[in-house]
Structure formats: C-alpha cells, structure tokens
Structure 1
Amino acid sequence: MDLQLSGRVAVVTGASKGIGLAVTRTLLDEGARVVAVSRRSTPELEALGGPGLLQVSADLMDPEAPGQIVARAVEAFGGLDVLVNNAGGPPPGVALPRFSFLAPTDEDWRAMFEFNLFSVVRTVRAAIPRMLQRGGGSIVNVSSGGARQAASMNVDYNAAKAGLNNLTKALSEEFGPQGIRVNTVSPGPVRTAWWTEEGGAADIIAAQAGTDRDTVINSVAPEMMRLTTGRLVEPQEVADVIALLASPRSASTTGADFAVDSGFLKEI
C-alpha cells in the first residue's frame, strides 16, 4: 500500500534505536525526508544515511532544543509535514522500573515530566506554525499502555504519559479544523534497549525475581504483564502503525489512541 509519504518532511525524535529507528527506516522507505533526532547516533542510524536523512544531535531536556530541531528541518527540507514524538521513557541516567510511589523524589518527578511531556509540548509548539504554512500535517505522540493502566510501578512515568494523552486530545480538537491531525500510539513492553541493555528493565526485574535477563524478557515479563500474545512487542510493529497515522491515508483519524501492546490493556 502506497502511504503517499513521498517527498514529505518528517521529524522523528529518539531516532537512534528501538521504535524511533524503525520509524525512521520505514518513513525513508516510503520516500519521506526525515530529520532523525537523538542525543547520540548509532551504527544502525548511520547505515540509513542518504540525501533524504538529516541527523540532528539534540537533548530534549534542553528547552531550546525543539525550536532548533524544527528550524533545521525547515532549513534542510523546506518545511514540516510530520512530527513523531517518540523520545521518552527513563530520562537520561535513570533506570526503570521503580516499584513504589514512594521511590521517586520530587526531582525524579520533574525529570520524568520534562522528558516525557514538556519536551513534547515544546516540540509541538515549534512544529505547528510550520505545519500550518503547509496546509496541515500529522503529529504522532508515542505514549504507553501505562497511561491508561494505573499501577504503583513507574507511577511518575505513567502519570506523564496520561498527561500526554490528554494533550493529544486537546491538540486534535484545536488544530484538526486547520488540517493538523494528532494521535497517540500506546505500546506495551517493546523489545528495545530499555528492556534489553545491561542495567535495563529486564535486569532490574531479574534481580527482584531471582532469575536472569533472558528469562524475564521471554517469560517473566509477558506473564507478569498478562500479555495475550505471550511476547514483547517488536519495534517494527509499532513503527508500522505510526507510519500509517503519519500518512494521508489516515486523513479521517485524529484524537485517537492506538494500542500496540501484545494485549496488555484488557479494558473495553
């Protein structure tokens, strides 16, 4: 299916690995020109290099970064049509999960909201005027199943993502009549570095459960989270949904939330 993304300009944050890398690759394959934003590059991102890819090093904890990123996109490619706010999860230097409401400090809460909500607010604020100049666009915010599944584990992260869902609805209402669609994609646990790297979620859970990283990824986490498919989500599965929402083929889809979560959310 042609997603009609050829020649369109997209900004993807958190683009160096995991979901963001898969989104970047997918959009490039569809003919889009992509500004790939990350704190550091990776060999996998470097391998995608070509005339349609601009890599921008930026720290989204810096309030000035979002405006600079959008300016680079306009300078390089002449405008902006698609924004994928994928960067999120543990702020730099933080390891999740945390298992109790009492675990995060005030500073932990501030950092979590700065990275997972306020950085999105600033990036959207910078992007919308540029999209309006093009007659519209698509914004996809990567949220989490935890935004709708309250739990004591990662309570600060889940609260930030719940705020992101609310923000997305509000943006879709205000800017939908002007041609800008805004949606969320809510992954469950995804097989990314957050889980798989040394000191990541799998190692933390393994220490609590008295087992090893691979066992957590392959059986403990799917059972603990009651995943219907019995496995973690693959990054490409999330990227495919994001690409469809970015596409004009989704012209009547706005203010919606799409769960790509292996059956994590059980509610109607």
Structure 2
Amino acid sequence: MDLRLNGRVAIVTGASKGIGLAVVRTLLDEGARVVAVSRKSGADLDALAGPNLVHVPADLMDPAAPAAVVERAVEVFGGLDVLVNNAGGPPPGAVLPRFGFLPLTDDDWRAMYEFNLFAVVRTVRAALPHLLKSDAASIVNVSSGNARHPAPMNFDYNSAKAALNNLAKGLSEEFAPQGVRVNTVSPGPVRTAWWTEEGGAADVLAGATGADRDAVMDSVAPEMMSLSTGRLALPQEVADVVALLASPRSASTTGADFAVDSGFLKEL
C-alpha cells in the first residue's frame, strides 16, 4: 500500500532506538523527509543517513528544546506535515517498573510529567502553526496501555500517559476541523531497550520474581500481563500503525487510540 507520504516532512522524537527508530525507518521507506530527535544519535540511526534524514540532538525536558527542533525542521525541509511524539518512558535516572505509591517523591512526579506530558505540550504548541499550513497534517502521540489500565505500580508514569490521551482527544476536537488530525497509539510491553538493556525492566522483574532476564521477557512478563499473543510486541509492529495514522490514507481517523499491545488491554 502506498501511504502517500512521499515528500512529506515529519518530526519523530525519541528517534535513536526502539519504536522511534522503527518509525523513522518506516517513514523514510515511504519517501518522507524525517527530522529525527534524540539526546544523541546511535549506530542504527546513523546507518539510515541520507538526504531525507536530519538528526537534531535535543533534550526535550529543556523547555526551549521543542521550539528549536521545530524551527530546525522548517529551516531544513521548508515545512511540516507530521509530528510523532514518541519520546517518553522513564526520564533520565529513573528505572521502571517502580512499585507502590508512597516511595514516589515530588521530584519523581515532576520529572515523569516533564518528559511524558509537558515535552509533548511544548512540541505540539511549536508545531501547530506549521501543521496548520499543511494539506494533510497529522499528530501521532505514542502513549501506553497503562494509561487505561491502572495498577499499584508506576503511578506517575501511568497517570502522565492518561493525561497525554486526554490531551490528544482535546487537540483533535479543536484542530481536526482545521485540518490537523490527532491520534494516539498505545503500546503494551514492547521488546525495546527499556526491557533489554542492563538494569532495565527485565532485570527489575527478574529481581522481583527470581527468574532470569531472558525468561522474564520470553514467558514471565507475558504471563504476568496476560498477553493474549504470549509475547512482547516488536517495535516495527507499533511503527506500522504510527505510519498509517500519519498517512493521508487515514484522513477520517482522528481522536482515536489504537492499542498495539499483544492483547494486554482487556477493557472495552
């Protein structure tokens, strides 16, 4: 299927690895021009180098960074059609999962909201004047199934993602009539560095359950989370949905939340 993204300009945050990297690769394959945003690049992102890809190093927790990113995208490619707010998860220095409510400090809450909500608010604010000039504008926010599945863990992360979902609905109501669609993709557990890197979620759960880290990813975590498919999702499976929502092929889809979660979310 031709997603009709050839020549379109997209910003993708959290672009150096995992879901963001898969989104960048997919959009490039569809002929889009991509501004990839991350604190630093990486070998996998560098391997995609070409005339349609620009990496902008930025820390989105810096309030000035989102506007600078958007300005750079417009400077290089002359406009903006797609914004993928993928950066999120544990802010620097935090490791998820975190169990219980009482151990969380005000600083924990502030950092989590800064990264998962306020950075998105600022990026959208900076991007909208340019997106409103596009004839097929799209914003795709990458949220989490945990936004709709409260649990006695990751309180700060879960509530920040719930706020992100609410934000997307409101933005869609205001701006879809003006030609900017806003949708959400909510992954469940995805086999990314968040799980696989040393000290990541697999190691945290291994310590809590007594299983080894590979068993956690292959069987323990899917069983704990009642994943219908029996496995963690892959980054490309999320990226495919993001690309479809970014595409003019989804011209009548806005204000929606798509679960790509291996059957994690059981609620209607």
Query: Shared topology, TM-score over 0.5?
Result: yes
Which amino acid counterpart does residue 116 of structure 1 have in structure 2?
A: N
Summarize the alignment of residues 216-227 of structure 1 with structure 2, pairs less than 5 Å apart. Answer: 216-227=216-227
In structure 2, distance between residues paired with 1:211 and 1:227: 18
The two structures, once aligned, show a CA RMSD in angstroms of 0.6
Asked if 2 retains the 8 angstrom alpha-carbon contact of 1:165 and 1:184, the reply is yes
Which amino acid counterpart does residue 72 of structure 1 have in structure 2?
A: R
In structure 1, distance between residues paired with 2:189 and 2:250: 25
Asked if 1 retains the 8 angstrom alpha-carbon contact of 2:8 and 2:33, the reply is yes
User: 2:262 — aligned with what?
Assistant: 262
Moved over 4 A (4+): none
In structure 1, distance between residues paired with 2:132 and 2:138: 11
For structure 2, the residue ranges without an aligned partner over 5 or more in a row are none
For structure 1, the residue ranges without an aligned partner over 5 or more in a row are none
Q: SS of the counterpart of 1:112? A: helix
Q: Does 1:120 align with 2:110?
A: no
Q: SS of the counterpart of 1:133? A: coil
Asked if 2 retains the 8 angstrom alpha-carbon contact of 1:135 and 1:178, the reply is no
- Please report how far the alpha carbon of residue 134 of structure 1 lies from its aligned counterpart in structure 2 after TM superposition: 2.3
User: 1:183 — aligned with what?
Assistant: 183
In structure 1, distance between residues paired with 2:211 and 2:236: 28
- Please report how far the alpha carbon of residue 136 of structure 1 lies from its aligned counterpart in structure 2 after TM superposition: 4.8
User: 1:28 — aligned with what?
Assistant: 28
* Greater shift in the superposed pair: 38-47 or 134-143: 134-143
The percent of aligned pairs where both chains have the same amino acid is 77
Cα deviations across residues 28-62 of structure 1 (Å, max 9, x unaligned)?
00000000000011100000000000000000000
In structure 2, distance between residues paired with 1:92 and 1:8: 32
User: 2:50 — aligned with what?
Assistant: 50
Which amino acid counterpart does residue 95 of structure 2 have in structure 1?
A: A
How many residues in Structure 1 have an aligned counterpart in Structure 2?
A: 268
In structure 2, distance between residues paired with 1:86 and 1:103: 27
In structure 1, distance between residues paired with 2:96 and 2:131: 35
Which amino acid counterpart does residue 112 of structure 1 have in structure 2?
A: M
Asked if 1 retains the 8 angstrom alpha-carbon contact of 2:136 and 2:248, the reply is no
Summarize the alignment of residues 90-105 of structure 1 with structure 2, pairs less than 5 Å apart. Answer: 90-105=90-105
Asked if 1 retains the 8 angstrom alpha-carbon contact of 2:84 and 2:142, the reply is yes
Cα deviations across residues 1-42 of structure 1 (Å, max 9, x unaligned)?
000000000000000000000000000000000000000111
Q: SS of the counterpart of 1:55? A: strand
In structure 1, distance between residues paired with 2:28 and 2:116: 25
In structure 2, distance between residues paired with 1:7 and 1:103: 48
Q: TM-score, normalised by structure 2?
A: 0.99
- Please report how far the alpha carbon of residue 133 of structure 1 lies from its aligned counterpart in structure 2 after TM superposition: 2.0
